Structure 1
Amino acid sequence: MLFNIEHDLGREIIGYLVPDGFTGRATIRVTRRGDELLTKQTDSLRESLVHAGRHETGLCGFTIDDGEIPGLAEITDLEIRDAESDVIIYRRYNPEAIVRQKIFRLETHLLPLSRIDRAVQPRFQFYFPSIDRFGLETTHQMFLMNNTDSVYASGRVSYRSVEYYLDQGYTSVAMVQEPFEELAERVLLLRLIGENRAGILGLRDSVTFETVKSFASGLPLDSDRALSRAFRDMDPEVANMLTDPVTRQLTTRLPDEVLKPSSIGQALSVLSGFRIVGVRHRAELFADALVDALSLHTGEVPVVEPIPAARELGARLREMPSVERLLEHDIAVFHFLSEAFEKSLIES
């Protein structure tokens, strides 16, 4: 999906929205504070899309004017969305309330820290949470919004897949969880998902993690010995899905790429370029740092503390060699990250 607003002239808004399909036409939905003002299909020709082989007919442009929406020029909180995906492709805003920065929060948790995203949403003109639920073309388009300096995006994507776009004026932030506790949280989450395939994870990840979900559902959590044995004897496909998720996310493009000893240094190098890197067990410090970076009000960013059940299970998994082998690189990355974090606290 490609999209952009070419002009907002007050009484007239002109843009385009290219659907994922080659032949169909997209539908836009115009809203104000959740109330629908207009729904229409794209109907203006963009010949360049035909020449580029991106769309069969090129009927991907649209124009909205005050004949369709009376008083259009005075509607300061108008939003335009793709009707199918509900992605915001344009939003008017109050210049006095907006943060003029481009922020990307790399999501390192399988259970997304959505409360943080929702809290800052009103402060940005463009807001793209959970971008990992979309294809690469749509994701890249989200980073390429022109004529704006107010964008917030978040998602559990491969850093290498978006690195080029982040270099175009984005500030990156992340919060990392202790590896055993993150694994525990993933196991508990996958046990709870059940048949709600497109719920918390989204349809794509629900399919991707299907075998892991079956493994997690069958884990004997009431016995440390049996639990350790289950991890020791797990299917290689499941093991691959659970191995060093953060190091893989920071250093590889594909989930099945083999990590090397140098991957630890590469992961730390990536994180060194982030403006804010927090640790989940000190979530309040991450929240405070984000408030300061965005010049928000105290308490505006919520403190998302570790889940007690995940901390408890993580402590048990930490004693199991079969689990430690799965997280070898992530353990090292988190060790050096924690050392740097504690040093910064002492110096401050």
Structure 2
Amino acid sequence: MNFHIDIATPAVLSGWLTPDNPSTCPRFIVRIPDRDPIEFEANVFRPDLLDLGWHATGHVGFLVDDKLIPEIASLPDVSLSEFHTGITIYRRSTSAEQIDSKLMFFDCSLMPQWRLHRIIGEHFGVQYPSIDRQPLETNLALLWNQHVSSVFASGMPNYLRYMAPLSEREYQCVALLRAPLEELAERLLFLTALSKMPRESSIRQMFEPLEEVMMLVSRTDLEKKKDIATLFRGLEGRNRDLMRSPMTRTFGAEIAEPLDRKKVAIALDHLARMRLVGRRSDYQTFSAVFDGLMQRRILSGTSHSTVPGTEELAELLRGIGPATDIIEEDLALYEFFEDSLAEMM
């Protein structure tokens, strides 16, 4: 999905949206608090997009004005979303409860902290959780969009790929890092839990790229060092890449680049540019500093979720060479990070 907003005034909202399937006509939803949603199909023909080959018919434009909503110019809160995905592409609001800022929250754990992200997102006009699970084209349109001023996005999108829009649109970037062995342990436990869900489960489908790894992990006895070592020795190609050093891959390398120690230095350089970088092991300090950055109480008093058994499995992984090898870059990155924190204190 790609889109662009051409006009955004109190009385007129217009632009275009091309869906993933270029032969379908996009549908939209206008939401206004305390009213029923208003659904409509693309109502403007765009010959320019037809000529470019971006859509089969060119019926991708939208126009929201007083013909659709008579009193639109006086409404304090109006949003426009794509019907099938539910993704909000525009919202204006005069609410003082919304933070007038754009925030990208990096969390490289496979199991997203959805509860915490919801708590943060409630303070923003538009929320894009797990943004890394959306197509590149969609994310670039969302991040470059200049017609929304209160945005919360989260996940582990590739920093090198998105650093231009994040910088140009003045996103505040925040990262919460985690001890690599703990993240790897939770990753294994989470994949095991996912493998027990029906394949048609919406949560399992979110992690479809990991389906093959998921089945390999599900057949592994995570209480036996030998079985775990066999699992990691057997990971090859794409499956190995999917499990390897997620922090270094997110912050220091292009999507398809092989990882090495040089990427650790690049990742650390990018992390140093962020407004705030914290660690799960000192979550309360991170929460307090985060709330100060946002200038309101959001995370203070909250806690993050952990899969039962994570600490025990992390300790077991510590003594398994093939397991530590697959996260060697992240182990180095986290050690440098902790050393820098110790020097600051």
Fold match (TM-score > 0.5): yes
> Which whole-Å CA distance do the structure 1 matches of 2:232 and 2:282 have between them?
29
**CA distance in structure 1 between the partners assigned to 2:35 and 2:132 by the alignment:** 27
1:37-56 equivalent positions in 2, closer than 5 A: 37-56=37-56
Q: Secondary structure at the match of 1:28?
A: strand
Which 10-residue stretch deviates more, 188-197 or 11-20? 11-20
Question: Would the aligned equivalents of 1:144 and 1:165 in 2 still touch at CA under 8 Å?
Answer: yes
- What SS is found at the alignment partner of 2:327? helix
Question: Contact 1:37 / 1:69 at 8 angstroms: preserved in 2?
Answer: no
Q: Determine if contact 1:281/1:305 at 8 Å carries over to the other structure.
A: no
1:262–1:132 Cα change, 3 Å: same
Counterpart position of 1:263 = 263
Distance 1:184 1:247 in 2: 17
Counterpart contact for 2:228–2:323, Cα < 8 Å = no
1:224 offset after TM fit, Å?
2.9
Alignment of 1:136 onto 2:136: yes
Q: Which residue of 1 aligns with 2:167?
A: 167
Aligned to 1:199: 202
Match of 1:320 in 2: 320
Q: Which residue in the other structure is 2:20 paired with? A: 20
Matched, 1:209 2:210: yes
Tell me by how many angstroms 1:11 deviates: 4.5
Query: Secondary structure of 2:103's partner?
Result: strand
How far apart, in 1, do the equivalents of 2:95 and 2:213 lie?
A: 46
- Secondary structure at the counterpart of residue 254 of structure 1: coil
Distance 1:149 1:274, change over 3 A: same
Unmatched segments (≥5 aa) in structure 1: none
Segments of 5+ residues of structure 2 without an aligned counterpart are none
Aligned to 1:341: 341
More displaced stretch, 161-170 vs 65-74: 65-74
Q: 5 Å matches for 1:60-75?
A: 60-69=60-69, 71-75=71-75
8 Å contact from structure 2 (residues 131, 156) kept in 1: yes
Q: In the alignment, which residue of structure 1 is the partner of 2:291?
A: 291
Give the superposition deviation at 1:199: 3.1
* Contact map agreement 2:120 2:299 (CA 8 A) in 1: no
Distance 1:122 1:15, change over 3 A: farther
Say whether residues 1:32 and 2:28 are aligned partners: no
Measured in 2, the distance between the counterparts of 1:143 and 1:238 equals 29
- Using the TM superposition, name which of 291-300 and 333-342 deviates more: 291-300
Alpha carbons of structure 1 residues 128 and 320: separation in structure 2 relative to 1, 3 Å: same
Query: Per the alignment, do residues 65 and 340 of structure 1 end up closer, same or farther by CA in structure 2, a change over 3 Å counting?
Result: same
Q: Which runs of 4+ in 1 moved over 6 A?
A: none
Instruction: Give per-residue Cα distances to partners, 1:170-223, cap 9 Å, x unaligned.
Output: 2211111111111111111111113345533644x31x1111101110111232
- Alpha-carbon deviation of 1:109? 1.1
The worse-fitting range, judged by mean Cα deviation, of 232-241 and 170-179 is 232-241
Q: What residue number does 2:57 align with?
A: 57
Partners of 2:205 and 2:140 in 1: CA distance: 19
8 A Cα contact 1:280 1:305, kept in partner: no
Deviations 1:44-84, CA, capped at 9 Å, x for gaps: 02233233332233222222234434543444333221011
Q: Residues 142-181 of structure 1 correspond to what in structure 2 (within 5 A)?
A: 142-168=142-168, 169-181=170-182
Range 6-15 or range 93-102, more displaced: 6-15
| Structure 1 SS opposite 2:50 | helix
Q: Distance in 2 between matches of 1:46 and 1:300?
A: 48
* Change in 2 beyond 3 A, CA 1:197/1:317: farther
Q: In the TM superposition, what whole-angstrom CA distance separates every residue of 1:15-61 from its partner, at most 9, and x where no partner exists?
A: 32222222321000122348642111002022332333322332222
Q: CA deviation at 1:298?
A: 5.4
SS across alignment from 2:63: strand
| Change in 2 beyond 3 A, CA 1:323/1:83 | same
Alignment TM-score, normalising by the size of structure 2: 0.90
How does the TM-score come out when normalised to structure 1?
Answer: 0.89
Task: Indicate the residue corresponding to 1:124 in structure 2.
Answer: 124
* Counterpart AA for 2:157: V
Contact 1:81/1:90 (CA < 8 Å) preserved in 2? yes
1-structure distance, mates of 2:162, 2:301: 25
Size of the alignment, in residue pairs?
A: 342
Taking the TM superposition and a 5 Å limit, the aligned residue runs for 1:71-150 are 71-150=71-150
- Using the aligned pairs only, state the percent identity: 26
Range 144-153 or range 313-322, more displaced: 144-153
Q: Secondary structure at the match of 1:111?
A: coil
Give the structure 2 partner of residue 252 of structure 1: 253
Q: Please give the root-mean-square deviation of Cα atoms over the aligned residues, in Å.
A: 2.4
2:239 corresponds to: 238
Counterpart of 1:165 in structure 2: which amino acid? P
Cα distance in 2, alignment partners of residues 15 and 62 from structure 1: 6
